Amino acid sequence: MRERFINLFYPFNQQQPGLSIHKHIRKSAYIILFSLILLMLAGCAKEPEVKYPNAITIAFGADAKRLLPMLASDSASGQISGYIFNGLTKYDKNIRTIGDLAESWDIRDNGLTIIFHLRKGVKWHDGEEFTSADVLFTYQTLINPKVPTPYSSNYGPVKDVETPNKYTVRVTYKEPYAPALESWGMGIIPKHIFEGKDLASDAVSRNPIGTGPYRLKEWVTGQKIVLDAFDNYFEGRPKIDRIIARIIPDPATTFLELKFGGIDFSSVTPAQYKLQVDRSDFFNKYFQKFRYPSFGYTYLGFNLLHPLFADKTVRRAIGHAINKKEIIAGVLLGYGAPCTGPFPPESWAYNSDVADIDFNPARASEILSSIGWVKNQHGLLEKGGRTFSFTVITNQGNEARLKAAQIMKEQLRRVGIEMKIKVLEWQAMLHEFIHKKRFEAVLMGWGLSRDPDLFDIWHSSKTKEGEFNFISYNNAEVDRLLIAGRQTFDIGKRKQIYRRIHQILSEEQPTIFLYVPDALTLIHKRFRGIEKAPLGITYDFIRWYVPKDSGEWYR
């Protein structure tokens, strides 16, 4: 499954966007006091009550929207659909491409032809057999211009898809395409269920039928999504019977649910991790703790069609006015690192020679003054009778992003820029503002694919409604390099290409690349078989188990 989903798996409290820095400090003090109270409570808390030992309850900060993989453009939809569907390929724990619904493949004609050999006997959740016809139908769906998918460009280089028999798929490319194998990790959907249907309709996209290890049992909008283990899963029935995804936007509520047994698996905020989890015998006794860099980043993105942000000089000035280290210290409590461009340091495409834009408010003021911005009597910049003022939108419930916005608001005010903050419900923000380009700036995050192909995010052709280049970035050299990066299999050449893309984006600052947060995760100790690897911790979820014979959790 490709992982290019907008990242919102941070739980958080909503704060008032107009708070001054002094009120923000006072509010932070109250939060710390509340955290210490919770810490004391945790110290004397009893063992969390486990009602359903062989079910795992996972906290989600937002509800899913659509559970068909080609329509899943947010992290909740992507994660849930990943349990329901399989692609032809997937990653192993060491981020190497291996077979999923395809048991093997042959690469011919210098990469222009891939012949997939499908597994036999794989069943859909309704009992019908999976065949090559389903692969062809999925491909035709992905390239259908009437289907609102952001992933169609992954199949643009495909010349033809043929199905010589029920268990063979031959894909022919117009030109070499390096991410080809990864692109076929897209979840395959059943032809006999979805042919002729409107996939974007709720009646279809909320009733998925897949081949995956879990099948949809119940979906209560805004509350929970329940998945049951699929008995006939081709890799063997999952050892955990049920997944319950509970939608809890408030991190304080999530944390209390962890303490009292309502949640088994959740990310936690940096404050919770530092002030409560790390200092608590309770959490050390009952939970496994995981900390590792997330494969993505948080950013301040500009609508490049807006006259304020069309000039990269202005964007760079804003970059000089923002103190990333202060944000990381204040928001993440040190659990993260500054970001210099579109690749996290764990990516092989990361350009370590790119220097981060330095925090230098004096330089920011100098740049803005040189292009005609002058401070008025209120200390705000003006030019041609217009005040330098803009609004940033971010999603409701994301404490980390909202705190980052509060800090940036104060930092920009010091150089004469007024930044207002507007908090929106996630789905409304995505569909009514982001997709329709009804915004000036946005504070969001990207969760990235392990392959460094960024065509969908940065190519100038990917700016239509529902696509990922919603900031409308357009650079001819980057366009050319993105295509070249797709057309060579030579890892050395690809590395040079993406290092150059990294350099250009750092120079032009179409977004301010803020930070790479650490993933901070708690999982109840009754679950065994969890191993941290380069791909993360959930790559082999179907092998997680609860020991039945120990008597520890089955009473």
Question: Does residue 535 register a pLDDT over 90?
Answer: no
In which element (H, E) is residue 438 found? none
Q: φ, ψ for residue 390 (rounded to 5)? A: -150, 165
pLDDT value at residue 548: 80
pLDDT at 437 over 80: yes
Q: Is residue 422 pLDDT above 60, yes or no?
A: yes
Which pLDDT does position 212 carry in this prediction? 98
For 92-142, how does the pLDDT look when each residue is reduced to its tens digit (9 = 90+)? Answer: 998 889 999 999 999 999 889 999 999 999 999 999 999 999 999 999 999
The DSSP code for 536 is B
- Quote the longest CA-to-CA distance of the chain: 76
> Predicted confidence band at 257 (pLDDT cuts at 50, 70, 90)?
very high
* pLDDT band, residue 455 (cuts 50/70/90): very high
337 lies in a domain? yes
pLDDT for res 46: 62
Q: Label residue 380 by pLDDT band (50, 70, 90).
A: very high
The mean-pLDDT minimum among 1-5, 58-62, 277-281, 398-402 falls in: 1-5
Q: How is the chain split among helix, strand and coil, in percent rounded to 5?
A: 30, 25, 45
Q: Is residue 329 part of a domain?
A: yes
Average pLDDT (405-429) is 96
Higher pLDDT, 470 or 61: 470
Shared domain check, 301 and 187: no
Alpha-carbon distance of 491 to 534, in angstroms, equals 19
Does 503 map to a domain? yes
Q: Are 328 and 445 contained in the same domain?
A: yes
- Residue ending a domain, choose from 142, 163, 192: 192
Q: With H, G, I as helix, E, B as strand and everything else as coil, classify residue 364.
A: helix
Within-domain flag for 206 = no
| Contact call for residues 501 and 485 (beta carbons, < 8 A) | yes
CATH value at residue 172: 3.90.76.10
What pLDDT digit, counting tens, does each position of 389-404 carry? Answer: 999 999 987 888 999 9
Residues 153, 298: one domain?
no
Q: Judge if 188 and 317 occupy the same domain.
A: no
* Residue 226 pLDDT level (bands cut at 50, 70, 90): very high
Q: Is 474 helix (H, G, I), strand (E, B) or coil?
A: coil
32-41, 54-63, 102-111, 257-266: segment of lowest average pLDDT? 32-41
Residue 424's CB is within 10 A of a number of other CB atoms, namely: 17
The pLDDT of residue 191 is 98
For residue 185, is pLDDT > 90? yes
pLDDT surpassing 70 at residue 477: yes
Q: Considering 124, 159, 192, which residue would you say is the last residue of a domain?
A: 192
CA 373 to chain centre: 37
Residue 29 in this model has a pLDDT that exceeds 80: no
- Judge whether 39 lies within some domain: no
Among the ranges given (15-19, 213-217, 359-363, 425-429), the one the predictor scored with the smallest mean pLDDT: 15-19
Q: How high is the pLDDT of residue 270?
A: 92
- Domain limits at 500? 294-517
pLDDT at 20 over 50: no
* Mean per-residue pLDDT, 10-28: 34
State what percent of residues in the chain have pLDDT above 90.
75
Task: State the Cα–Cα distance between residues 293 and 523, nearest whole angstrom.
Answer: 17
Closest of 448, 451, 2, 456 to residue 184, by C-alpha: 2
Alpha-carbon span 422 to 429, nearest angstrom? 10
In a domain, 71, yes or no: no
Confidence of residue 536 (pLDDT cuts 50, 70, 90): confident
Q: What integer pLDDT is reported at residue 42 of this predicted model?
A: 46
Question: By mean pLDDT, which of 122-131, 167-176, 215-224, 489-498 is the weakest?
Answer: 489-498
Residue 56 region by backbone torsions, left for phi larger than 0, else alpha for psi between -120 and 50, else beta: beta
At 445 the three-state DSSP class reads strand
At 14 the pLDDT is 28
Domain boundary among 144, 160, 192: 192
328 and 447 assigned to the same domain: yes
| Neighbouring C-alpha atoms within 13 Å toward the C-beta of 423 | 18
Q: So what's the pLDDT on residue 6?
A: 34
Mean pLDDT, the chain, as a whole number?
Answer: 89
Domain with residue 513: its CATH number is 3.10.105.10
- Written as one string, the DSSP assignment of 38-91 is HHHHHHTPPPPP-S-TTEEEEEESS--S--SGGG--BHHHHHHHHHH---SEEE
| The pLDDT of residue 554 | 39
Residue 529: inside a domain: no
Give the DSSP letter string of 170-214: EEEESS--TTHHHHTTSPP--HHHHTTS-TTSHHHHTS---SSSE
pLDDT tens across 489-513, in order?
888 999 999 999 999 999 999 999 9
Is residue 26 over pLDDT 50? Answer: no
For 34, the token pair is 């509340």
Asked whether residue 497 is domain-assigned, the answer is yes
pLDDT at 30: 47
Indicate the number of domains in the chain. 2
